[in-house]
Amino acid sequence: MSTDGTVNPELNSPDLDAPELVTESESQDSLETRPSAGRPLSRRELVAQKQAQGRRNRPFIIGGLLIFLAILAVPVYGYVQVFVLPSREVAVQVNDAVYTRGDVVDFVRFHQRLALENGSEFAVTDQLLGSLQTISENEIAFQKAPLLGITVSEEEVQGAIRETIGFPGLTTSQAEASGVKSDIAESFRQLLNRIQLSEEAYTEIIRKGLFREKARRALQQDVPLLQPQVHLYALEYLRDTNPDIERARKRLVQGDPIEQVALDLSEEFAVPRTRGEIGWMPESVLDDQDIENLVFGVDENGERNLIPGTLSAAQWDGEDAVYRYYYIDEEVEARELDFAALNTLTDFSLAVWLEDQRVSIENYKLRFDSEIFEWIGAQVLNAGIAVEGTPTAVPGTQPIDLADLLLGDN
């Protein structure tokens, strides 16, 4: 204040030239980012400024990246769960040999293609469980082949492959001829593309199928050709209250021939042709186990369930929606098996042998449930295998029935 009592504004105003108080951090930022007044930034200052800006932006960049990865992970996780992991789940295991769901799909595609090329229907839903069972049986036959003295040569494998692609009956030397060899190779390449299989996978299916078929043929040698058999007939009716049933019983008791009774009274559609005859039957060939037990089984007293010369009680067939009444016209102690019966008994022998071997395997697994059924079925149907025609086989050769070779349905 001046001596005359007035206020001097210069004395009470802040000193503009006084030094400004600055914190240490602000000072550091100032040194890094603020240039001296009136001069351009040096290279060092530009670098420092850029580094400081990067430090401030880094949390935002990291956060954005994490959000992007989280968003991306959702469809990736879904894809892996739906398409990758299920295909790697174990469906069949025989000791160290493991077959995934993807392997089962390959196997079904293989047989689907064979059926389509042969002009046969292929119902995927009917084949899935059978395919798992066949994969298991093929592997068991492959691992247990030494017990039967079975081997499969590479020539046999290549010959079977040629048969599946339309070149049956060729010897190795014929298949190696220049023109034929190139045709076979091209046909095989096209086939693999159509059914989406690798050459290795296709060859392994053929190889192990051959082991199973060879085991079947070896076991067939032990099936006796002469066996006890019964001559079996059946009368059919839509209702088990039909009065013709009792008329048939009375006529049979009186000694009328079963074939004449069938012609006169049975409601079977084809009775004019069959005359009620089913055929000569050895034990273990009838498909229905209940009928097998009726015809060949005995009761608790050791008496035959169906005495020859008598008509059985009603047996309902849900598939054909009819009641059948069975009748044994005659039986013999030794009769030669026909071709169909021999094959059925051979299949039975193979099934018994495979089951005996399966029981002895320590690490065995066959998984099949509704979820696996639906997944495998969807993969096969989505494959959309097309039949584009098969190559022309060498004149004079005839294709074999591949079901005989690979599935044992002889």
Does the CA dihedral 219-220-221-227 come out positive or negative?
Answer: positive
Residue 9 to residues 2, 16, 100, Cα–Cα distance (Å): 10, 13, 94
Among 145, 154, 156, CA closest to 219:
145
- Please give the Cα distance from 57 to 220 (Å, whole number): 80
- Please give the Cα distance from 259 to 167 (Å, whole number): 48
Per-residue tokens: 403: 């079901």
According to DSSP, the residues that pair with 236 across neighbouring strands are 324
* pLDDT for the residue numbered 81: 45
* pLDDT for the residue numbered 8: 52
- Please give the Cα distance from 75 to 21 (Å, whole number): 56
- Please give the Cα distance from 27 to 123 (Å, whole number): 82
Which residues, other chains included, contact 322 with Cβ-Cβ below 8 Å and sequence gap of 6+?
236, 237, 238, 267, 268, 316
* pLDDT for the residue numbered 39: 67
Taking every pair of Cα atoms in the chain, the longest distance, rounded to a whole number of angstroms, is 162
* pLDDT for the residue numbered 38: 56
> Starting at the edge strand that comes first in sequence, how are the strands of the sheet with 277-282 ordered?
277-282, 226-237, 322-336, 315-317
pLDDT in tens, the chain (410 residues): 444 555 454 444 444 444 444 444 444 444 444 555 556 767 777 777 777 776 777 777 777 777 877 776 666 545 444 444 456 688 899 999 999 888 888 888 888 877 776 677 777 777 777 888 899 999 999 999 999 999 999 999 999 999 988 888 888 888 888 788 999 999 999 988 888 889 999 999 999 999 999 999 999 999 999 999 999 999 999 999 999 999 999 999 999 999 999 999 999 999 999 999 999 999 999 999 999 999 999 999 999 999 999 999 999 999 999 999 999 999 999 999 999 999 999 999 999 999 999 999 989 988 877 887 788 778 877 755 544 443 333 333 333 344 444 444 33
* pLDDT for the residue numbered 53: 72
